[in-house]
C-alpha cells in the first residue's frame, strides 16, 4: 500500500509547474520528456505556472526528492546532480502525485527484508513503513518492478552489503529499476486519478481480436487485407508465433491478381487534440520488389465528411523480409482516419505479401532517427570489452550530422552482471559549412526500445545529454566540427567526433527478460535538436520574483516583462510592445538562463 488515502492531497489537472532558473538545461529537457510519458500513459497533464496557489517548482538542490501529494501552497521537487534522467523524474513526480515508495507498503515484510543495521546512520527514515489507514494499495499486488522501488544497495553504509533483499531471490535483480513506469505503476496512477484513458494515445492495435480495433476495409478497392493467424514461417510480431491460440496480424497477398491492384485498410475516425502525430507500426514485405505499402490520411473535405485523401509516405519492398519498425509523422488538426494501402507490384515474381502488426498512433513527435541492430544476442555473446559498433550517419532537423556508438559488452558491471554502453557523437555532413560551431545547447536523447505491443506498457530505457562548451584533452571544443576534431571513418565516408555517453546504459539482465530483443533486433531511437519546448506555444516562460527584481535593479527588464508568456513571445519576436527597452527574445532567454536558441 503506497498511495495516500487522503483526497485533499490529490491534484487537479493540469498541474502548474515552474522550471527553476538554477535547473540544468539537460534536466529541463528531461522534465518535459517525463511530462510526455505521463500524457502518453495516463490522464495526468501539466501546464506552465500562471500565478496559481498550488504548483510544482523544479529546482536543483542536493539530491532527488519531492513532497508526497499536493501540499496546496506550492512545493519544491529537487533535481540535483545526476537526477536528469527521465525515470528519476517520473519517480519524483509520482511522489508529488501522492505515492510513497513501494517498500513503504503495509505488507512489505511479506515480500522484502529491510536490513536497517546496514543503513547509513540518520537515513533509516527512508525505509519507513506506513499503516493501511494512511496509504492504500488500491487492490494491487506488491510490485517488484515498480519505478518506486528502492534498489538493493540504497542508502547502504557498506558498499558490498545490501539494505534490501527479496524473499523470492529471482526478484533481487529486478527491484530498483530505472527504465520506466511498470505496468502496475500505470494501473495505480490511472486508478487513483480516475483516468478513462491516456491523453496523447489516439489509437493502437495488435490485431488479436476479430474486430481488428474498429478498422474497416474500403469498398472501392480491388481486394481486402486478411486477418491472419500466425503460422510457421509466417509469424506475427506481437507474440512471434509462440502462442497456440493467439498471434494475429493483417496480411495482403501479392502472389495473385493483377499488377497495381490494391487493398485499403482504414482506421476508425479519430479526434486529435494536438496538430502533431506519430504513427508507429511493424511491417514486413516478402513478395515482389515492386510491392508497395502506402500510408494515407483521410481528412474532412470541408463539408464535415471525411473523404479527402492525402498521401503521407510510401514503403517499398527490399531484400530484407523480416519484421521492421516504421515511423510516419503526421500533422492533422481535425478529425481524420489513417489508412494502409497495399499495392501489388508483380504477382508473377511474388512469393509472399505485405504484413502489418502492432500499430500505435500517438500525439507525439516521431524519433529523428532509428537504428536497428539485427542478431544482437549473438553480438553480445561474441563481444569483448573492446568491441564497438558505429551507427550510420544521421542528420538532425537542423542539419547536423551525428551518430551513435554501441559497446555490446561494456566494461561496467554490477551485482546484476554486464551492461551495454551507448554513446553519442557528431559526424561531418553535407551542411557543415553553414552550421553553427561548436554545436552547443542541443539535447541528444538515446532510447533503447522495449518492443511490447502495448505502448502504455513499454519500459524503454532512455538517457539524455546536452552539448556544451567543454574541451577535449588537447584543448579543442568537444562538440566542434568533426572535420576539425574528429577521425575519418570510411564506413560512412565522414569524420566522427569523440563519443560521450554511458557505459551502464542498459543491463544485459533487462535486455534478456523483456521485449528489447524481439526477433533478436535491438532498436535504438535517437533525437538531436534544440529544445523543442522553447518554441512550443504551451511552454510559458516564468521569471522568478527574485530574478525579476534583480533584473529591474540592473535596468535590463521592467515589470510587465516578468509576466510574459511564450505565447506573447512567439507573437512578438521583439518585446517592444511590452518592454519599452525592446528586450529581444534571445536576451530574455539568456536572462532566464536558457541560453541562446
- Tell me whether residue 258 is exposed, middle or buried, using C-beta atoms within 10 angstroms of its C-beta: 0 to 12, 13 to 18, 19 or more: exposed
Positive or negative, the CA dihedral 539, 544, 549, 551 is negative
Candidate list 36, 92, 208, 235, residue with the active-site label:
92
Positive or negative, the CA dihedral 93, 277, 206, 327 is negative
Exposed e or buried b for every residue in 510-547, given b needs 16+ CB within 10 A?
A: bbeebbbbbbebbbbbbbbbbbebbeeeebbbbbbeeb
Classified as helix, coil or strand, 290 is coil
d(CA 408, CA 413): 13
Cross-strand bridge partners of residue 19 = 58
Crossing angle between the packed helical segments 86-96 and 25-41, to the nearest 10 degrees: 70
Q: Is 95 annotated as a binding residue?
A: yes
> DSSP class of residue 347?
G
Which one, of 396, 469, 468, lies nearest residue 431 by Cα?
396
Q: Is 92 a catalytic residue?
A: yes
d(CA 306, CA 269): 8
d(CA 124, CA 62): 18
Cross-strand bridge partners of residue 121 = none
Classified as helix, coil or strand, 324 is strand
Cross-strand bridge partners of residue 417 = 414
Cross-strand bridge partners of residue 81 = none
Binding-site positions for Zn(2+) read 91, 95, 101
Catalytic residues: 92
Binding-site positions read 91, 95, 101
Amino acid at each position: 500500500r503506497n498511495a495516500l488515502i487522503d483526497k485533499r492531497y490529490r491534484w487537479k489537472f493540469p498541474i502548474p509547474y515552474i522550471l527553476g532558473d538554477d535547473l540544468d538545461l539537460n534536466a529541463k529537457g528531461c522534465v518535459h520528456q517525463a511530462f510526455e510519458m505521463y500524457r502518453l500513459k495516463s490522464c495526468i497533464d501539466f501546464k506552465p505556472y500562471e500565478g496559481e496557489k498550488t504548483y510544482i517548482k523544479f529546482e536543483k538542490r542536493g539530491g532527488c526528492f519531492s513532497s508526497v501529494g499536493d501540499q496546496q501552497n506550492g512545493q519544491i521537487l529537487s533535481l540535483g546532480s545526476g537526477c536528469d534522467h527521465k525515470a528519476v523524474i517520473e519517480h519524483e513526480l509520482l511522489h508529488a502525485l501522492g505515492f510513497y515508495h513501494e517498500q513503504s507498503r503495509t505488507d512489505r515484510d511479506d515480500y522484502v527484508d529491510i536490513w536497517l543495521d546496514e543503513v547509513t546512520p540518520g537515513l533509516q527514515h527512508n525505509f519507513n513503513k506506513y499503516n493501511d489507514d494512511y496509504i492504500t494499495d488500491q487492490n494491487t499486488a506488491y510490485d517488484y518492478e515498480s519505478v518506486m522501488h528502492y534498489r538493493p544497495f540504497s542508502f547502504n553504509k557498506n558498499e558490498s552489503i545490501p539494505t534490501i533483499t527479496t524473499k523470492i531471490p529471482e526478484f533481487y535483480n529486478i527491484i530498483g529499476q530505472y527504465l520506466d513506469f511498470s505496468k502496475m505503476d500505470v494501473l495505480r496512477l490511472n486508478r487513483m486519478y480516475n483516468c478513462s484513458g491516456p491523453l496523447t494515445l489516439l489509437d493502437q492495435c495488435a490485431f488479436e481480436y476479430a474486430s481488428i480495433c474498429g478498422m474497416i476495409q474500403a469498398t472501392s478497392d480491388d481486394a481486402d487485407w486478411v486477418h491472419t493467424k500466425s503460422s510457421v514461417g509466417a509469424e506475427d510480431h506481437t507474440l512471434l508465433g509462440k502462442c497456440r491460440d493467439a498471434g494475429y496480424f493483417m496480411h495482403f497477398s501479392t502472389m495473385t491478381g493483377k499488377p497495381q491492384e490494391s487493398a485499403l485498410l482504414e482506421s476508425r475516425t479519430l479526434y486529435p487534440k494536438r496538430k502533431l502525430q506519430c504513427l508507429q507500426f511493424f511491417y514486413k514485405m516478402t513478395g515482389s520488389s515492386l510491392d508497395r505499402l502506402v500510408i494515407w490520411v483521410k481528412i474532412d473535405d470541408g463539408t464535415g465528411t471525411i473523404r479527402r485523401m492525402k498521401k503521407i509516405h510510401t514503403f517499398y519492398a527490399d531484400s530484407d523480409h523480416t519484421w521492421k519498425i516504421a515511423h510516419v509523422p503526421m500533422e492533422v488538426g481535425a478529425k481524420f482516419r489513417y489508412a494502409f494501402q497495399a499495392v501489388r507490384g508483380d504477382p508473377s515474381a511474388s512469393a509472399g505479401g505485405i504484413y502489418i502488426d502492432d500499430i500505435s498512433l500517438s500525439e507525439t513527435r516521431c524519433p529523428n532517427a532509428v537504428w536497428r541492430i539485427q542478431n544482437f544476442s549473438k553480438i553480445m555473446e561474441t563481444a569483448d570489452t573492446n568491441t564497438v559498433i558505429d551507427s550510420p550517419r544521421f542528420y538532425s532537423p537542423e542539419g547536423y550530422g551525428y551518430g551513435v556508438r554501441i559497446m555490446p559488452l561494456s566494461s561496467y558491471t554490477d551485482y546484476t552482471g554486464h551492461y551495454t554502453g551507448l554513446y553519442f557523437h557528431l559526424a561531418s555532413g553535407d551542411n557543415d559549412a553553414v552550421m553553427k560551431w561548436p554545436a552547443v545547447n542541443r539535447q541528444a536523447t538515446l532510447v533503447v526500445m522495449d518492443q511490447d505491443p502495448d505502448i502504455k506498457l513499454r519500459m524503454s530505457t532512455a538517457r539524455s545529454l546536452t552539448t556544451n562548451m567543454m574541451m577535449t584533452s588537447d584543448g579543442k571544443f568537444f562538440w566542434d566540427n568533426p572535420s576539425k576534431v574528429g577521425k575519418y571513418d570510411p564506413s560512412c565516408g565522414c569524420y566522427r567526433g569523440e563519443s560521450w555517453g554511458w557505459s551502464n546504459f542498459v543491463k544485459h539482465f533487462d535486455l534478456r527478460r523483456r521485449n528489447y530483443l524481439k526477433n533478436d533486433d535491438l532498436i535504438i531511437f535517437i533525437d538531436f535538436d534544440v529544445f523543442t519546448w522553447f518554441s512550443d506555444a504551451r511552454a510559458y516562460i516564468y521569471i522568478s520574483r527574485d530574478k525579476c527584481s534583480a533584473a529591474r535593479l540592473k535596468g535590463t527588464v521592467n515589470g510587465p516583462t516578468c509576466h510574459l508568456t511564450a505565447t506573447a513571445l512567439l507573437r512578438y519576436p521583439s518585446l517592444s510592445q511590452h518592454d519599452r527597452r525592446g528586450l529581444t527574445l534571445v536576451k530574455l532567454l539568456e536572462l532566464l538562463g536558457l541560453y541562446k536558441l
